[in-house]
Structure 1
Amino acid sequence: MSCYQTVQDYAFRAFGYGERLLPRSDFTLCEQFTLIGSGMMWNIYYGTVAVITGFFFANLLAVGKNAKSAWARKPAEWFIFLFRGSPLFIQFFFAYFLFLNLKSVSSIFDPLSSAWLGALIVLFLNTAAYSAEIFYGALRSIPKGDIEAADAYGLTGWPRFRKVMWPTMMRLAWPAYTNEAIFLFHATTLVFFSGFPAWRQKGDALYYANYFADKTFNPFVPYPILAFYFILLTLVIISLFGVINKRLNRHLPQERRRKLRLRPNLIR
């Protein structure tokens, strides 16, 4: 089988399109690159949707944690503490069994026990908590002079937050938030190890890398391929977030512009 035919058969297999049977023996490098790349589409799906939705929820949590009212502050504080204080894998574990119990109550909850929705909800809540703490720190770091200037112009409430506080908060938080987005995409590999099943072998990139490692007893080919794909994905994220970072800092002198720096997160 040619590499072109392999790509045609397996490029979209992770979504259920193409050849249904996985190769059983005589694995080629093209088959491994194609199938692991096919599974990467699930990792990109988890990470992209979780980052976008979690961004808006994180802003709401950061504002809530900064609120004077205990009714708004305490729920935000406990939510952030809960999801930052527990390991992501444990969150997957408990969420899956919670969703299974809901499924037994009514069939309307069936999608929650599937990885495409159940695992996505866990990632969304987790990144919202981490991002909220980043945004909260940036919100508390806004220079008082900016707020006083807004007051002098008569800006109060929502107009002041939207035109002065929120842009400054984003500018201060963006380098750290970029790291959070990168580590969230890396954390999508935990979906394979969680209780959420890969229905009809429609798994993510780690699922297929593990499949090849088990069949060949050689992890030194599929796992470096997996790492290669994630390095490419990381470069794409850094590039996209770097463009936004330049946009946020476009009004500052060159020497005051905050640059993106990748800081390894050893424990998630």
Structure 2
Amino acid sequence: MSCWDTVQAYALRSVGIGERLLPRSDFTLCEQFTLIGSGMIWNIYFGVLALTAGFFLATALAVGKASPRALLRKPSEWFIFLFRGSPLFIQFFLAYETFVLLPKVGIDINLGFVELTAETRWLTRAWMGALIVLFLNTAAYSAEIFYGALRAVPKGELEAADAYGMTGWSRFRRITWPTMLRLAWPAYTNEAIFLFHATTLVFFSGFPAWRQKGDALYYANYFADKTFNPFVPYPIVAFYFVLLTLTVITLFGVVNARLNRHLPREQRRRIRLRVPLLR
């Protein structure tokens, strides 16, 4: 089988398209690059959806934590503390065990005038259950970043908004929120990078790979077990994630430039990659 044939057979295997059986022996470098690259589809899926949904929840949590009302502030504080205070791996494990306990036929929700059945069987699958965990986890970390940025919004800008008669939602949408994003964006970029890296934990936690359709690290582990040589598949995974990180930095850099377009060039905040040693 030529390398092109291998690409055609395995490039989309992680999503159920192409050959169903994995190669058993005589592994080529092309097969390892192709299958591990195929697994990256899942890493990108988890990262993009969790980051997109988590952004909006993080904004709400940051505003809630900054609220003077205890009814809004306390739930936000405890949510952020809970997901930042516990390891992500443990969150995956506890979530999977909780989802397994739910009835597979679904949960009946009686609204009085109508009864709805909420499907629960998909929660034990990684594409849904693990996505929920990643979504909640990144929302908590991002909320703390946004909260710090909210506290750092210059009072002069808020006073100027008050002088122009802006109050409530209008002031938040036009003054507070854009300034918060501008201040938080470099740190939020690092959170986005870490989130994509954290997606490698999905299939090594409680969520099993269905029909051997896993992410990049899942296939790398398969090749390392079969060849007893981890120095080929794992560097390939690292190579793909370096490319993914460069893509994230580039895209977030474009947004960062947009947020700071009104500032003089010497005052614009630049994105710097800082890899957290502990989380």
TM-score calculated relative to the size of structure 2: 0.95
- What is the letter of the counterpart of residue 193 of structure 1? F
Which structure 2 residues correspond to residues 140-219 of structure 1 after superposition, within 5 A?
140-219=151-230
Partner of 2:76: 76
User: Aligned partners of 2:245 and 2:181: how far apart in 1?
Assistant: 21
Distance 1:32 1:103, change over 3 A: farther
User: Aligned partners of 2:189 and 2:21: how far apart in 1?
Assistant: 38
Once the two structures are superposed, residues 56-75 of structure 1 have per-residue CA deviations (whole angstroms, 9 ceiling, x without a partner) of: 00000000000010000000
Contact 1:61 1:76 in 2 (8 A): yes
Q: Tell me which moved more, 60-69 or 101-110.
A: 101-110
User: Aligned partners of 1:103 and 1:180: how far apart in 2?
Assistant: 35
Task: Determine if the alignment matches structure 1 residue 42 to structure 2 residue 53.
Answer: no
Contact 2:105 2:121 in 1 (8 A): no
Contact 2:217 2:237 in 1 (8 A): yes
Once the two structures are superposed, residues 122-154 of structure 1 have per-residue CA deviations (whole angstroms, 9 ceiling, x without a partner) of: 000000000000000000000110000001001
Instruction: Look up the SS of the partner of 1:17 in the other structure.
Output: coil
- What is the letter of the counterpart of residue 236 of structure 1? T
Partner of 2:274: 263
- Deviation of 1:264 (Å): 1.1
1:109 equivalent among 106, 116, 120: 120
User: Alignment length, in residue pairs?
Assistant: 268
- What is the letter of the counterpart of residue 181 of structure 1? A
Q: RMSD of the alignment, in Å?
A: 0.8
User: Aligned partners of 2:262 and 2:68: how far apart in 1?
Assistant: 31
Partner of 1:221: 232
Once the two structures are superposed, residues 221-248 of structure 1 have per-residue CA deviations (whole angstroms, 9 ceiling, x without a partner) of: 0000000000000000000000000000
Task: Determine if the alignment matches structure 1 residue 8 to structure 2 residue 19.
Answer: no
- Deviation of 1:267 (Å): 1.6
User: Aligned partners of 1:127 and 1:252: how far apart in 2?
Assistant: 29
TM-score calculated relative to the size of structure 1: 0.99
- Deviation of 1:105 (Å): 6.7
User: Aligned partners of 1:25 and 1:241: how far apart in 2?
Assistant: 41
* Gaps in structure 2 of 5+ consecutive residues: 108-118
Distance 1:117 1:188, change over 3 A: same
- Deviation of 1:103 (Å): 3.6
User: Aligned partners of 1:76 and 1:177: how far apart in 2?
Assistant: 19
- Deviation of 1:202 (Å): 0.6
Partner of 1:54: 54
Partner of 1:99: 99
- Deviation of 1:196 (Å): 0.4
Partner of 2:241: 230
Instruction: Look up the SS of the partner of 2:24 in the other structure.
Output: coil
Identity %: 76
- Deviation of 1:192 (Å): 1.6
Contact 1:103 1:113 in 2 (8 A): no
- What is the letter of the counterpart of residue 206 of structure 1? L
User: Aligned partners of 2:190 and 2:242: how far apart in 1?
Assistant: 14
User: Aligned partners of 1:217 and 1:38: how far apart in 2?
Assistant: 22
* Gaps in structure 1 of 5+ consecutive residues: none
User: Aligned partners of 1:4 and 1:262: how far apart in 2?
Assistant: 36
Task: Determine if the alignment matches structure 1 residue 139 to structure 2 residue 150.
Answer: yes
Higher helix share: 1
Once the two structures are superposed, residues 160-195 of structure 1 have per-residue CA deviations (whole angstroms, 9 ceiling, x without a partner) of: 000000000000000000000000000000002111
